[in-house]
């Protein structure tokens, strides 16, 4: 910014102070318009003054939006978000509290940052993780602002921010993680290439089988010998009910009833054991 200091064009102290406050070429002198806007009620005249202010300060909003380019969002969209922040700043500004630029810059910047925070994540990230990400990003910038400064370690960032190393790790993972990767994405270019989904684990159903067997074990032991034999022949030797009936000399219908009754008894006892253990644990805790 240039200030004319030649003796032939003296300036008043008020003018000089105002010039120093305007740090950029895109910060116009609109004090008169803001005073007029504050005195008007809602209506066409106020809307016209408001539009004039938006037009005058829009270059500054675009400049602020340009600071956030190359972060996965188009410049045009960023400019629209910044323009929205400008409108909010104009509507909320009180001319008696100082210069508009001092109020508008953080308002517009905050609007753009909120846009990235709330809308640029492919998955909804908890607010806590977003805050950790921002703290880590700021700390890394502060720790590397001097030329030749090495890349800070997790411990360095933790000491600088007061966070734990686990929290710093979570924040670093969230850095620049606005997009997602498809589970079908190829992770290897070889003929035997595999996708991201191939590297993910799955729940082992064998654990449920173990639990079910242990739960049914006691109930099976308490069955009469003939009913245990029928269940063994049916479910372990894979015999049909007709063959079991022939071997034991009873009807197939009788075999069917014994199997149903035995399974129901074992199931009820197993479920009762689980409920009893849960209830006993709760009773002990209460006692």
Does residue 103 sit in the same domain as residue 62?
yes
Q: Report how far apart the first and last C-alpha atoms of the chain are (Å, whole number).
A: 78
| Lowest mean pLDDT across 2-16, 58-72, 206-220 | 2-16
Does residue 36 sit in the same domain as residue 116?
yes
Please report the pLDDT score of residue 25 as a whole number. 65
Tokens representing 159 are 């000491």
The answer to whether residue 48 sits within a structural domain is yes
Which letter does DSSP use for residue 2 in this model? -
Does residue 144 sit in the same domain as residue 110?
no
- At 197-223, the pLDDT tens digits run 777 777 777 888 888 888 888 888 889
Structural domain count, the chain: 3
Cβ–Cβ < 8 Å for 194, 183? no
d(Cα 80, Cα 69) in Å, to the nearest integer? 13
Does residue 48 sit in the same domain as residue 111?
yes
Across the range 259-280, mean pLDDT stands at: 76
Question: DSSP readout, 65-100?
Answer: HHTT-SSSS-HHHHHHHHHHHHHHHHHH--GGGS-H
Which structural domain, as residue segments, surrounds residue 227?
207-271
Does residue 133 sit in the same domain as residue 104?
no
The sign of the torsion formed by the CA atoms of 43, 44, 45, 51 equals: positive
pTM for the model:
0.41
- At 71-114, the pLDDT tens digits run 767 889 899 999 999 999 999 998 888 889 989 999 999 899 88
CATH number of the domain enclosing 37: 1.10.1740.10
Cβ–Cβ < 8 Å for 171, 132? yes
Residue 140 confidence (pLDDT) above 50: yes
Tokens representing 228 are 């245990």
């Amino acid at each position: 910014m240039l200030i004319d200091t030649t003796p032939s064009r003296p300036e008043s102290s008020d003018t000089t102070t105002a010039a120093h406050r305007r740090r950029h070429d895109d910060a116009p002198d609109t004090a008169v318009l803001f005073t007029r806007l504050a005195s008007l009620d809602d209506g066409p005249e106020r809307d016209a003054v408001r539009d004039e202010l938006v037009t005058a300060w829009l270059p500054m909003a675009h400049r602020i939006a340009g600071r956030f380019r190359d972060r996965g969002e188009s410049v045009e969209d960023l400019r629209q978000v910044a323009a929205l922040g400008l409108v909010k700043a104009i509507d909320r500004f009180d001319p008696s509290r100082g210069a508009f630029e001092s109020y508008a810059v953080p308002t517009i910047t905050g609007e753009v940052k909120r846009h990235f925070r709330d809308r640029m994540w492919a998955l909804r990230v908890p607010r806590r993780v977003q805050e950790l990400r921002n703290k880590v990003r700021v700390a890394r910038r502060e720790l590397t602002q001097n030329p030749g400064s090495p890349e800070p370690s997790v411990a360095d960032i933790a000491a600088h921010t007061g966070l734990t190393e686990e929290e710093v790790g979570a924040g670093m993972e969230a850095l620049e993680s606005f997009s997602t990767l498809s589970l079908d994405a190829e992770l290897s270019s070889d003929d035997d290439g595999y996708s991201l989904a191939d590297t993910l684990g799955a729940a082992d159903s064998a654990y449920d089988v173990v639990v079910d067997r242990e739960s049914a074990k006691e109930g099976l032991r308490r069955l009469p010998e003939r009913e245990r034999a029928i269940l063994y022949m049916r479910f372990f030797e894979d015999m049909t009910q007709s063959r079991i009936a022939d071997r034991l000399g009873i009807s197939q219908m009788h075999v069917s009833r014994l199997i149903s009754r035995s399974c129901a008894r074992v199931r009820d006892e197993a479920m009762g054991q689980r409920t009893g253990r849960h209830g006993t644990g709760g009773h002990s805790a209460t006692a």
